[in-house]
Amino acid sequence: MPPTTIRFYCDICKKTVSVALPEDFCNDFKKSADKWPYPLVYPHEGHYAIVYLDEDMKERGVNVSRMVFKEN
């Protein structure tokens, strides 16, 4: 089965972003979700998109942020 592709517009970089999600990732994502829509945090070009996906892996909303993150 081909990967599921989600697309969203990023207000920070002003681009439409496409992300291919392999079937095994989609299955794991669905198992971990405790509510719908469930957020997928996707880093790209120095910032992050929080893409809310429904149980059919369809985009239901997007927030973008220049979050500061540092691993200890």
pLDDT classification of 1: cutoffs 50, 70, 90: low
Buried b (16+ CB within 10 A) or exposed e, 47-66: ebbebbbeeebeeeebebee
- The token duo for 59 is 């985009």
Count of helix runs (H) and strand runs (E) in the chain: 1, 5
Mean pLDDT within 28-53 = 95
> What is the pLDDT, as a whole number, of residue 67?
76
Residue 39, number of CB atoms within 10 A of its CB = 15
What is the pLDDT confidence band of residue 34, given thresholds at 50, 70 and 90?
Answer: very high
Q: Which residue has the tokens 């979700």?
A: 33
**Whether pLDDT at 69 is above 90:** no
